Homo-oligomer: A and B are copies of this chain.
Amino acid sequence: MLLLAPISLSAARPELWQDLPDPQHHASQQDLCTADALSPSRLIVAGWACRCCSHADKRRQILGFLLPGDFVGRVLLPDLPLPYGVVALTALKTVSARPLVEAAANPDSAALARAVRLTAHLDDLLLFNQLMRLGQQTARERVVHLILELHERLGWVGLTRDDRFAMPLTPDVLADALGLSVVHVNRALQQLRTDGLLDVGDGTVALLKPEQLQDIAKWTSLSGTLKQ
């Protein structure tokens, strides 16, 4: 039987969900799910994706990023159409999450059921973070805040090393996520670089002064709230 870490599916040890059935590969830019369709019940094993609302006039808003260990779609409302699309940002590997979801329905596996619920809770938290960024923060703060969020989430699944991680996001994806123009995202990054706070380039990020960055972004750890 599966044993999960107490935080969420994302935080379960990778070896647990990498062996789920029906592995599939998706090319970068491919839709995993279009808006208003039923979302597949799948888990991301490798690669990055995003939830994304494209409103007609070529403006699009990225609602959040999906990282290895994350659920595609909504765990608790699998039967309702997704109000957003899910798009692969890199080459992607996913597996079926059905065994997990079905096992969670079994009254015996309370821990798994709890992990599923915590996953939904985490989704909410991430969405609120996103809202706070867009509604309250300046460009500089938003960039740092998002990077810290990604850093924490990737840490859960062992994808960071020494405050450094791979971030396969093009500037325009970043811009769509932060509600800023590409140019301005670049400016903010540039300044953070010259301030010696972080080192971004070529698909990787290094947090040079983590405490100072947390200060700038008013960051509060997610695991704090998730632990209960």
State the A residues within 8 Å of B (CB). Answer: 36, 53, 55-57, 59, 61, 63, 74, 76-77, 79-81, 83-84, 117-118, 120-121, 124-125, 127-128, 130-132, 134-136, 178-179, 218, 225, 228
Tell me, rounded to whole Å, the shortest Cβ–Cβ distance linking A177 to chain B.
8
This protein's copies in its complex: 2
Interface of A is mostly: mixed
With beta carbons under 8 angstroms apart, the residue of B53, B59, B76, B132 that contacts A120 is B76
Q: Is the CB of A131 within 8 A of B134?
A: yes
Alpha-carbon distance A53/B128, docked complex (angstroms): 9
Given contacts A134-B134, A134-B135, whether A81 and B128 have CB atoms under 8 Å apart is no
Alpha-carbon distance A57/B218, docked complex (angstroms): 9
Given contacts A77-B117, A117-B80, whether A135 and B61 have CB atoms under 8 Å apart is yes
Given contacts A36-B225, A77-B121, whether A132 and B55 have CB atoms under 8 Å apart is yes
Contacts of A63 in B (CB 8 A): 128, 131
Contacts of A59 in B (CB 8 A): 136
Tell me, rounded to whole Å, the shortest Cβ–Cβ distance linking A85 to chain B.
12
